[in-house]
């Protein structure tokens, strides 16, 4: 029986933080970017590039809608919990959604560079749920299973080991392809063989932390919190047992005294009993000092665990500010950079590529638009968000320092406001398309205002001449039209 729940609470909180960071529900966590090197070798016109970027934006929204409509976040949260505790998990991507295999259900081997080479998944399935072709195969292999298969009662009265059969899935990766098939009783199940390009493999063996030369990773708990968890568990057990012993109420009565224990036990509250108060003594453990030391040590270890598991551990002070809390949360977020980097390469990029492949096979996305040589998926959350957060902090610090040392006039003189707005928006992950005016739009608007001012001056100078006044009014009306307005047909 566990004596402390900070480990379970911390694992769930960390899994939730990783889930929201890698698959955020309120923002786009990836985008399709054009390869600049490929564009340099095969240049295209600005109109074609703009059309291609618009098509890629529509495909991004289609992939996001597909993810939102599935149960992928539920399965990925389960995988994150296993990664945090055991360090390994296997994900299977299908048209129905994600499925997570625990470490006790699969084995795998990896090459020298850490790429998966082989994997075997073991599943124990009820015989009646297997396809008919598999059931016929089992009838030929095992006579005992024949009776189970032929018995179609909803609750067959057979031992559990005879109701189920183990189905093995064998996966193999090479330099270019991923192949797989399923076996039962040592025979390959028909119509279960498949293959795909290596980068579109539906099987993703994930690791929490890489160990060079090892096929499996180590967990976050093992590397960062195991010693503290074991110590706080022992301290909590000692504190709980000591508190229970201290809360037990016992009275000692002197054997040779005049006070009788039976009279005290039968006496009601507020009654009078004949006796000597020196004959009765309340039993005390007198371990409050020792329990206080254990409690202090437990609080210190729980503070370290709260920081490791990203639990709220705000400094208890009257002067604690929101900026201090934000900086502390950002520091903890940066400590997970290695986790984000690994999960970006082993989960996010293959996951988006496989989701896009499923939409292409379903005919929802045209294959000619998504040229793998030209279009590359770029992750915008996780490690990229941490990097943008650092850029934002340094940029704000630079502008603030420059404004304080040189003054606002020098800041407006030397800093390009358009570039500053662009960098701030990028650091915050905000798309500025249609939000911020471009330099061309600003120049056109400024030119229109100058022409309007000149026309007004012409009206004032020609107030005495009716003909000049009419011409100036016509020019003013024309200048007040929008910049992109089209002239009427002649």
How high is the pLDDT of residue 160? 46
**Owner of token pair 């911390």:** 10
Asked, for residue 193, whether it belongs to a domain, the answer is yes
Structural domain harbouring 119 = 101-218
Written as six digits, the tokens of 32 are 């399709």
Asked, for residue 204, whether it belongs to a domain, the answer is yes
How high is the pLDDT of residue 216? 95
Residues 112 and 187 in one domain: yes
Asked, for residue 157, whether it belongs to a domain, the answer is yes
Within 13 A of 83's CA, how many CA atoms are on the CB side? Answer: 28
Written as six digits, the tokens of 75 are 């399965």
Within 13 A of 72's CA, how many CA atoms are on the CB side? Answer: 27
Q: Other C-beta atoms within 10 Å of 464: how many?
A: 7
Considering only CA atoms, which of 233, 238, 297 is closest in space to residue 1? 233
Length of the chain: 490
Q: Are 88 and 222 in contact (CB under 8 A)?
A: no
How high is the pLDDT of residue 87? 94
How high is the pLDDT of residue 156? 45
Residues 171 and 211 in one domain: yes
Residues 6+ apart with CB under 8 A from 208: 83, 84, 87, 88, 217, 218, 219, 220, 339, 342
Local structure of 310: helix, strand or coil: coil
Domain end marker among 218, 239, 270: 218
How high is the pLDDT of residue 161? 46
Provide the β-strand partners of residue 282: 251
Domain end marker among 174, 195, 218: 218
Q: DSSP class of residue 215? A: S
Which regions of 198-335 does DSSP assign to beta strands (E)? 203-207, 251-253, 280-282
Asked, for residue 14, whether it belongs to a domain, the answer is no
Asked, for residue 128, whether it belongs to a domain, the answer is yes
Written as six digits, the tokens of 68 are 């939102």
pTM for the whole thing?
0.73
Residues 392 and 460 in one domain: no
Asked, for residue 360, whether it belongs to a domain, the answer is no
Local structure of 227: helix, strand or coil: helix
Residues 417 and 445 in one domain: no
Within 13 A of 134's CA, how many CA atoms are on the CB side? Answer: 21
Asked, for residue 203, whether it belongs to a domain, the answer is yes
How high is the pLDDT of residue 487? 45
How high is the pLDDT of residue 157? 46
Strand 251-253 with 97-101, pairing: unpaired
How high is the pLDDT of residue 79? 96
Residues 6+ apart with CB under 8 A from 462: 468, 469, 471, 472
Considering only CA atoms, which of 160, 423, 447, 400 is closest in space to residue 455? 447
Q: Are 235 and 297 in contact (CB under 8 A)?
A: yes
User: What is the Cα–Cα distance from 56 to 414, expressed in whole angstroms?
Assistant: 37
Domain end marker among 194, 218, 242: 218
Written as six digits, the tokens of 262 are 């039976």
Cα dihedral value 19, 21, 26, 29, nearest 10: -110
Written as six digits, the tokens of 474 are 């016509």
Q: DSSP class of residue 463? A: T
Asked, for residue 371, whether it belongs to a domain, the answer is no
Which pLDDT tens digits describe the chain residue by residue (490 residues)? Answer: 688 889 999 999 889 888 888 888 877 788 888 887 877 888 888 778 778 878 888 888 888 888 888 889 999 999 999 999 999 999 999 988 899 999 999 999 999 999 999 999 999 988 877 888 788 777 766 655 555 555 554 444 444 445 788 999 999 999 889 999 999 888 888 888 999 999 999 999 999 999 888 999 999 999 888 999 999 999 999 999 888 888 888 888 988 888 888 888 899 988 998 888 888 988 888 888 888 899 999 999 988 888 888 786 555 556 666 555 555 556 656 667 778 888 888 999 999 999 999 988 888 888 777 777 788 888 777 655 555 566 677 778 888 888 888 888 878 888 888 778 877 776 666 666 667 777 777 788 888 888 888 877 766 665 555 665 566 566 666 655 554 444 444 3
Q: How far is CA 39 from CA 48, 87, 471, in A?
A: 12, 40, 51
- DSSP H or E stretch at residue 247: helix 226-247
Written as six digits, the tokens of 40 are 């340099």
Give 110-168 as a DSSP string.
E-TTS-EEEEEEEEEEEGGGS-HHHHHHHHHH-HHHHHHHH---SS--S-HHHHEEEEE
Residues 203 and 115 in one domain: yes
State the total domains in the chain.
3
Residues 422 and 473 in one domain: no
User: What is the Cα–Cα distance from 325 to 328, expressed in whole angstroms?
Assistant: 5
């Amino acid at each position: 029986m566990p004596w402390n729940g900070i480990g379970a609470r911390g694992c769930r909180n960390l899994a939730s933080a990783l889930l929201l960071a890698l698959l955020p529900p309120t923002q786009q966590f990836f985008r399709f970017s054009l390869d600049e090197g490929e564009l340099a070798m095969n240049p295209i016109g600005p109109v074609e590039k703009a059309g291609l970027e618009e098509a890629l934006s529509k495909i991004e929204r289609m992939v996001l809608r597909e993810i939102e409509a599935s149960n992928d976040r539920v399965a990925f949260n389960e995988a994150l919990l296993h990664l945090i505790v055991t360090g390994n998990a296997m994900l299977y991507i299908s048209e129905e959604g994600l499925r997570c295999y625990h470490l006790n259900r699969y084995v795998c081997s990896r090459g020298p560079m850490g790429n998966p080479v082989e994997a075997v998944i073991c599943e124990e399935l009820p015989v009646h749920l297997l396809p008919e072709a598999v059931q016929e195969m089992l009838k030929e292999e095992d006579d005992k299973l024949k009776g189970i298969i032929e018995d179609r009662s909803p609750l067959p009265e057979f031992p559990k080991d005879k109701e189920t059969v183990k189905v093995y899935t064998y996966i193999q990766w090479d330099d270019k392809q991923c192949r797989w098939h399923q076996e039962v009783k040592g025979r390959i199940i028909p119509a279960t063989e498949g293959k795909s390009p290596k980068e579109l493999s539906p099987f993703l063996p994930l690791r929490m932390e890489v160990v060079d030369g090892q096929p499996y990773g180590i967990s976050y708990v093992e590397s960062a919190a195991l010693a503290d968890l074991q110590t706080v568990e022992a301290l909590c057990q000692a504190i709980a047992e000591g508190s229970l012993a201290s809360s037990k109420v016992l009275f000692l009565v002197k054997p040779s005294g005049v006070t009788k224990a039976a009279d005290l036990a039968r006496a009601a509250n507020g009654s009078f009993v004949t006796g000597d108060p020196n004959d009765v003594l309340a039993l005390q453990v007198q371990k409050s000092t020792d329990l206080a030391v254990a409690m202090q040590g437990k609080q210190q270890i729980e503070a370290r665990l709260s920081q490791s598991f990203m639990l709220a551990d705000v400094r208890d002070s009257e002067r604690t500010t929101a900026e201090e809390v934000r900086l502390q949360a950002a520091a903890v977020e940066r400590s997970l950079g290695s986790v984000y980097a690994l999960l970006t390469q082993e989960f996010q990029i293959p996951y988006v590529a496989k989701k896009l492949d499923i939409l292409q096979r379903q005919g929802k996305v045209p294959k000619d638009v998504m040229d793998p040589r030209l279009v590359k998926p770029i992750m915008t959350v996780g490690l990229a968000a941490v990097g943008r957060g650092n850029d934002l902090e340094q940029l704000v610090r630079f502008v603030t320092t420059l404004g304080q040392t040189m003054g606002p006039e020098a800041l407006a003189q030397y800093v390009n406001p358009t570039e500053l707005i662009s960098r701030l928006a990028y650091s915050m992950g905000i798309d500025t398309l249609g939000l911020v005016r471009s330099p061309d739009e600003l120049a056109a608007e400024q030119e229109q205002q100058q022409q309007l001012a000149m026309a007004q001056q012409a009206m004032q100078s020609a107030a005495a001449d009716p003909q000049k006044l009419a011409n100036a009014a016509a020019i003013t009306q024309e200048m007040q039209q929008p910049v992109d307005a089209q002239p009427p047909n002649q």
